[in-house]
Structures are given as C-alpha cells and as structure tokens.
Structure 1
Amino acid sequence: MRRDKLGIYLNDHLAGATAGGGLARRVADQHRRSARHGDLERVAEQIEQDRRALLDIMDALGVPVRRYKVCAGWAAERLGRFKPNGQVRRRSGLSSVVELEGLRLGVEGKVLLWRALLAVAEHEERLSAAGLTDLLARARDQADLLETLRVNAAKAVFS
C-alpha cells in the first residue's frame, strides 16, 4: 500500500469533511423553523459521524492528520458564507439551493472515498469492508435526501 499517497488522499477528504460538516450544521441551524429541519439535522449529525469514521480509519492505518488541511477546510466553509445571494440584508432562497448543492457534491465525494477504500480493503486487513459498505450506503441515502431537498428548493426559488 502506498501510504504516502493514501495519506494525502485521506487528508484531502478530511479537509472536505471539515468544510462539509460546517456547512451541514449551518444549513440545519438556518432551517430550524422549517419542515426540512429534522432531515437537515439528521444529515448534519451523520456527516459529523462520517468525519469521525474517517479519522478512525486514518488512525487505524497510521495516517497522521495534517492540521493545515483541516484548517483549510474550516476556512473554506467560512469564506463560502460571503457568496452574494441577491439580497443585501437577509437570506435568499437562492442561498438554500446553492448550499444544498454544495452538500450534495460533498456527499458524492464521500461516496467516491468509501468506494476507493473498499477497493483498498481487499488487500488491507486494517480496513473493515463491512463498515465501509455501511458508510457507503449511508452516503447514498444522504445524497438521495439532499437531491430531493435541492430540487424542492430550486422549484420554490425559480418557479
């Protein structure tokens, strides 16, 4: 196994998971009073659990966490908050569409991560194929839910 390349790959995904976790939490908090809150809260919790699972995998493989990449993920999520949305003083429905698209893209990246690790698990006993299969199934469920929420938000904003 090429631990150097795997370490870079996993740390890049950890940066993405850090950004995605912050975005998911923010989106759930911003929809506290909506019918979507329960779903968004559940996705935010699962994304955080998935991030912890990634950290556990990195630990099991002896891959050190690169703090600068974690900080870059954190900063990227914060900077994304400044995207213009067509409103000066309040949130726009467009913000929800773009944020849900960002979450969906992040989850799709996570699907690819779990698939790649499943391929590595064939030759790496420290990886649990069953655990990775569960993570993959959960990511697919998250993607399906986020797609439904994204399409509904787009209909509301653009119709």
Structure 2
Amino acid sequence: MSTAPTDHTTVPQSGLLGIYLNDHLAGATATVQLGRRLARRLEGSAVGEQLSELAEELAKDRNTLTEIMSELEVPVRRYKLYTAAAAELAGRLKFNGHLLTRSPLSTIVELEMLRLGVEGQANAWRTLRAVGAEHGRPDPERTDELIEGAVRQISMVEAMRVRAVQRVFGIATVP
C-alpha cells in the first residue's frame, strides 16, 4: 500500500534537520563570500559601501546559524562548507560576452545570486521559527528578528539590482 508524501510530514526523521541546516550553512558561506567579493568590486561607490555593510550582516547571520546549530546539537559538516566555497569560486566564471574585463552584466547577475542566497537564509529562519514553535528551541522571538532582518536585506539587494538594471539597460522603470 502506498502512502501520500504528506503522510510522512508529522513524523520527524532523525538527522534531517542536521542535513537541512548544514545545507543552509553552506549556502550562507557562499552568500557571504559573494557579498564580500561584490563589495570589493564596487568599493568606493555608495553601493559598495552598502554591500560591505550587508556582507558583514550576512557573516553575523552565518555565525548565528552556527550558534543555533550548536544549541540544537547539530554538528557542522565541513565538507559541505568546502563544497560551497568551491561553488562560489566556480560561479565567478560567467559567459557574459567579456573575456578579459568585467561585464556590466556581472553586477546584475551577482546581485541576483546574492538575493537568492539571502532568500534562502530567510527560508531557513522561517523553518527554524516553526521548529522552535513546536519544540521550544531555537527561540521563536530570536528567529522572528532574523526573519525581519532577512526581509530587509532582500529589499536592499533588490533595490541595488533594480538600479543596476536601469543603468546597464538604460531603462527608467523595472517591474
């Protein structure tokens, strides 16, 4: 007799939270690296300053995730962090019409990837919020603050992305 996938959602499976959190830690690691690299590339501009501050916030959020993992007794799987670092390096190779110089498209694509990373982290905070509400830890109020921070970060990156799209493509409005 087969069972619907939803039949398994009420029984927590040992180890799945650890896998989930390590995957998000790897994503957070790559997101911090991307944010720092993008901030360095745009150093000296207003956007570069914003990105530098954002990258530091993202690094603090990553540290908070490791603290929560420790609280939940979830070990950090270093091999996932190394894989994420390698993936971020590989992500620098983009076929964007420029071989020896930086394409104006690079900033747009990198801001889009940064936004995806922050959205992923927001989803992790939402999941941890639900875990905390059900099991008492992590503290739901703490995760609420992290969710609010991620929403603000997403809005900030989106505003930068829109300005970059307007500049690169010479358009007044971006939906």
* Deviation larger for 51-60 or 1-10: 1-10
Determine which of 5, 14, 23 is the counterpart of 2:34. Answer: 23
The residue aligned with 2:132 is 121
Q: How many Å apart are 1:34 and its aligned residue? A: 1.4
Contact 2:26 2:84 in 1 (8 A): yes
The residue aligned with 1:45 is 56
Distance 1:61 1:2 in 2: 15
Deviations, residues 59-95 of structure 1 (Å, cap 9, x unaligned): 0000011111111111000111111222122111100
Contact 2:131 2:137 in 1 (8 A): no
Residues 1:141 and 2:152 aligned together: yes
Residues 1:81 and 2:92 aligned together: yes
The residue aligned with 1:155 is 166
Tell me the SS of whatever aligns to 1:122.
Answer: helix
The residue aligned with 1:33 is 44
The residue aligned with 1:132 is 143
Distance 1:132 1:71 in 2: 26
Q: How many Å apart are 1:105 and its aligned residue? A: 0.7
Which portions of structure 1, spanning 4 or more consecutive aligned residues, are displaced by more than 3 angstroms? none
Tell me the SS of whatever aligns to 1:90.
Answer: coil
Distance 2:14 2:65 in 1: 15
- Aligned-residue sequence identity (percent) comes to 47
Deviations, residues 26-69 of structure 1 (Å, cap 9, x unaligned): 00111102121221111100110110001001000000111111
The residue aligned with 2:116 is 105
More RCO (CA 8 Å, sep 6+): 1
Structure 1 unaligned spans of 5+: none
The structure with the largest helix share of the pair is 1
Q: TM-score, normalised by structure 1?
A: 0.96
Q: How many Å apart are 1:3 and its aligned residue? A: 4.2
Aligned length: 159
Amino acid at match of 1:149: M
